[in-house]
Amino acid sequence: MPRIPPVLKPVNRHLTIVPHVKKNETQAGVLLPDDFKHEEDRYITATVLDVASDCTAAFQKMRGHSADNKVVVVERSMIEEIAVGEKSYFTVLENYIVGILRGANENQFI
């Protein structure tokens, strides 16, 4: 019987997320110094996987919706990576989510 990997259940107003990070790819033929660090955006998007039970109603409503309705904008520096064994989880405190991405006519959800 295969073992089911553990999941991280968020608590204390945290959300478990999957950050949408850009890959560091350069155009062919461009050489950069080893210590060159590309400037990263302050805010990135992320998909919400789970929400702590004590989060505000706006985030509680995300439960049970499709992945398209769970994309948020997060302050990048506030994302916490938690390594448990060989698996990594990403969490963020609800205060550092600055918005929820929606289509032009999607006001009914939040």
Closest to 96 (Cα-Cα) out of 28, 2, 13:
13
pLDDT > 90 in the chain, percent:
47
DSSP 29: T
Residues 89 and 64: their CA atoms lie apart, in Å, by: 20
What's residue 110's pLDDT?
47
Look up the pTM and report it.
0.76
Helix (H) or strand (E) holding 58: helix 57-60
What's residue 66's pLDDT?
64
Does residue 77 surpass a pLDDT of 90?
Answer: yes
Residue pair 65/36 in contact (Cβ under 8 Å)? The answer is no
Does residue 3 surpass a pLDDT of 60?
Answer: yes
> Cα-Cα-Cα-Cα dihedral of 29, 35, 41, 43, to 10°?
130
Residues 27 and 89: their CA atoms lie apart, in Å, by: 31
What's residue 28's pLDDT?
58
The per-residue pLDDT of the chain, averaged, comes to 83
Residues 109 and 66: their CA atoms lie apart, in Å, by: 11
